[in-house]
Each structure stands twice: as structure tokens, then as C-alpha cells.
Amino acid sequence: MIGKILGAVAGSQIAEHTSTVSGPMGAVLGAGSVALVKRLSIPALLALTVGGYAFKKWQDSRAADEAKRKSFETPPNAAPA
């Protein structure tokens, strides 16, 4: 019970730093993640962590490539749209 409460608090705090997840949804995800962590094995948790990190790095590099592409498309004297 206390683990779910702490997970919910952590999830709502994390949700404040993201634009796609609101506070209550973060609390639900945090409470649910406690149950997930209890049931998974150590190798599965490590695989999820490494996979999440690799996905984030891929997204960041993709966003940087898109920003670089857009910077070449916009003329220097053009007004921002």
C-alpha cells in the first residue's frame, strides 16, 4: 500500500516535467509501475531500462535531425510562421 502511494507521488512529480502526461495520469502510471516492478525479473527490468534509454536517444537524434533540416529550409530573413 505504501509502495503504491510512493509510486503515485513519484509519477505525479514526473508528470509535471512532461507535456504528454498530466498529474493524475502520472499518479496512475506511478502506482501501476510499482506492481509491474514487483512481478518482473531483474533481467527484464534491465532490458526495459536499456530499451527505454535507447528509444529516448533515438527520439532525440531524430528531433535534432529534423531541426537541422528545418533550419536549412527557412531563409535567414524570413519571418517565423
Q: What is the spatial distance between Cα 37 and Cα 44, in angstroms, rounded to a whole number?
A: 9
- Could you tell me if 30 and 52 lie in one domain? no
- Supply the mean pLDDT for the chain: 79
Whether the predicted pLDDT of 29 surpasses 90: no
Q: Count the domains in the chain.
A: 2
| 12 located within any domain | yes
Confidence tier at 80 by pLDDT (50, 70, 90) = low
Residue pair 12/24 in contact by the 8 Å Cβ criterion = yes
Q: What is the spatial distance between Cα 56 and Cα 10, in angstroms, rounded to a whole number?
A: 20
- Could you tell me if 56 and 35 lie in one domain? no
Residue 75: per-residue pLDDT: 65
| 81 located within any domain | no
Domain range spanning residue 59? 41-75
- Could you tell me if 45 and 30 lie in one domain? no
